Amino acid sequence: MLQVAIVGSGPSGVYTAQSLLQQDRVPEVRIDVLDRLPCPYGLVRYGVAPDHEKIKSLQNNLRTVLADDRVRFLGGLDVGSGPLATERLRELYDAVVYCVGAATDRRLGIPGEELAGSYSATEFVSWYSAHPDTSENGFLSGARSAVVIGVGNVAVDVARILARGADELRVTDMPQSALDVLARSQVRDIHMVGRRGPSQAKFSTKELRELGSLPDAEVVVDLAELALDPAWADPASLPGANRRNLEVLRGWADPAPQEPGAARGPTRRTGRTRRIHLRFFLRPVEIVGAAGRVTAVRFERTAPDDQGQVRGTGQYEDLDAQLVLRSVGYRGLPLEGLPFDAARGTVPHQAGRVLRDGVVSPGEYVAGWIKRGPTGVIGTNRPCAKETVNSLLEDAPGLVRQERGEDPLRVLRAAGLRPVEWSGWQAIERAEAELGAGQGRGSVKIPDWDGLLQAARGTDDRP
């Protein structure tokens, strides 16, 4: 029997488990999936936007893996020290696969980042996603104008959530406390800003297009600014996704044919409550404040250079803002006891095998964002996990122990740990369904540790 610990129950952890269950090279596999949170699914639960129900429903696919008889979900176990030190896990299991994701945001490295009112998109996403480590930070207090720095899909997510009214979000699993804050929001202008041109923006066309269909928000673009992009006039040589992005932007920039003579320049479609301004060729140089709070973001206008990058022009523009959300990418964090490449924010590996000082460390593996960095969609984690599992299976003959020790779960319990098991997670799901029913809504997330653990352990009196 091959006994494997997977640390992290996000997509890469679950796809690792799935690959191990589907293989036929090792006759019997037992898998423990450990997570520091009492809830599984990683960023599918705590990152994917609540109004993207279809993507959220991927949890149903992940569930079938974790509910398999050969898998045990062990939530509430923060791996890295004490009885959960990496070397201890290596003693307890034949192999350990680290799938811990990339939990922190990248910094801009400009003055003013620490001012009140300036947050990473990670903090904002965690809050509306009810991550139990985050609480209401007064994100929206006094804010009328918000600047979102970055033009990737996460930037689009946070801009869209700001632009939706609380009524539109009631159908999601967002906690009532977050809905109440959004209902009181005075944010009317949301500026989403990229330092390069629209043809280089990272958002996907589907996410971009969705901004144009929000019931109570209009998209504002400036044709003159878009046209600074060398690819604007002739996008034929662009990859399909970038070309389609320009088509969507063009649709917003060009006056509709039925409006003969309509003015060019900044586009207003209707008199809706909120405006999403899409801005390009602006590089943030300072978050400006007064009395410790954000009042504006100063940008330097950039211009395309001949390397496909941009250069500063020495011209500056301030955008009024009481809320700044920085969305310029994610970064992995070192896990105590595991090697870490600080420059890349990943664990050094060879086809998923952890490298210690350049040498393969037997029985230790990585998959997902901590292996390849924070790129790709959920599905990208599947082939990534498969590669790791292939390496593990090749190594398996040298990993499987002849003498089976005590069940690792008993050892962990004897060390005083009290994991939230699958039944505990199911109890959380039931409690969230009841919470929602009480509010006349579908399932609603429990946003705090006490509430989650109480729900999980209500049915489990084990010491």
Ligand X SMILES: Cc1cc2nc3c(=O)[nH]c(=O)nc-3n(C[C@H](O)[C@H](O)[C@H](O)COP(=O)(O)OP(=O)(O)OC[C@H]3O[C@@H](n4cnc5c(N)ncnc54)[C@H](O)[C@@H]3O)c2cc1C
Q: Which is nearer to ligand X, 6 or 249 (CB)?
A: 6
Q: Considering only residues 12, 145, 172, 176, which one is a binding residue for ligand X as defined by CB under 6 A?
A: 12
The answer to whether 109 and 326 are in contact (CB under 8 A) is no
Question: Residues 6 or more apart from 377 whose CB is under 8 A from it?
Answer: none
The answer to whether 121 and 155 are in contact (CB under 8 A) is yes
State which of positions 249-308 bind ligand X (CB under 6 A). none
Q: What is the DSSP string of 98-142?
A: E-----EEPP---TTTTSBTEEEHHHHHHHHTT-TT-----TTTT
Residue ranges with strand state E in 103-244: 104-105, 118-120, 145-149, 189-193, 217-220
Task: Report the DSSP beta bridge partners of residue 76.
Answer: none
Q: Considering only residues 2, 5, 6, 7, which one is a binding residue for ligand X as defined by CB under 6 A?
A: 7
Span near ligand X by CB under 6 A; candidates 96-104, 277-285, 302-310, 439-447: 96-104
The secondary structure of residue 385, as a DSSP letter, is H
Q: Considering only residues 21, 23, 26, 36, which one is a binding residue for ligand X as defined by CB under 6 A?
A: 36
Question: Residues 6 or more apart from 27 whose CB is under 8 A from it?
Answer: 1
| Tokens read off for 343 | 């420059």
Q: Of the candidates 94, 65, 84, 61, which has an alpha carbon nearest to the alpha carbon of residue 7?
A: 84
Give yes or no for residue 171 binding ligand X (CB under 6 A): no
Q: How far is the CB of 461 from ligand X (least distance, A)?
A: 25
Give yes or no for residue 80 binding ligand X (CB under 6 A): yes
Give yes or no for residue 55 binding ligand X (CB under 6 A): yes
Q: Considering only residues 369, 435, 444, 453, which one is a binding residue for ligand X as defined by CB under 6 A?
A: 369
Give yes or no for residue 335 binding ligand X (CB under 6 A): yes
State which of positions 100-159 bind ligand X (CB under 6 A). 100-101, 103, 125, 154, 157
**Residue 391-420 contact track with ligand X, rule CB under 6 A, x = bound:** ------------------------------
Give yes or no for residue 9 binding ligand X (CB under 6 A): yes
Question: Residues 6 or more apart from 266 whose CB is under 8 A from it?
Answer: 220, 221, 222
Give yes or no for residue 245 binding ligand X (CB under 6 A): no
Span near ligand X by CB under 6 A; candidates 73-81, 306-314, 391-399, 407-415: 73-81
Q: Considering only residues 145, 381, 388, 391, which one is a binding residue for ligand X as defined by CB under 6 A?
A: 381
3-class SS of residue 312:
strand
Q: How far is the CB of 440 from ligand X (least distance, A)?
A: 27
Q: Which is nearer to ligand X, 142 or 383 (CB)?
A: 383
Q: Of the candidates 241, 152, 249, which has an alpha carbon nearest to the alpha carbon of residue 194?
A: 152
Q: Where on the phi/psi map is residue 352: left (φ > 0), alpha (ψ -120 to 50), or beta? A: left
Q: What is the DSSP string of 426-444?
A: HHHHHHHHHHHHHTTSS--
Q: Considering only residues 20, 31, 34, 220, which one is a binding residue for ligand X as defined by CB under 6 A?
A: 34
Q: How far is the CB of 334 from ligand X (least distance, A)?
A: 10
Q: Which is nearer to ligand X, 295 or 390 (CB)?
A: 390
Enumerate binding residues for ligand X (CB under 6 A).
Answer: 7-13, 34-37, 42-43, 47-48, 52, 55, 78-80, 99-101, 103, 125, 154, 157, 330, 335, 368-369, 376-378, 381
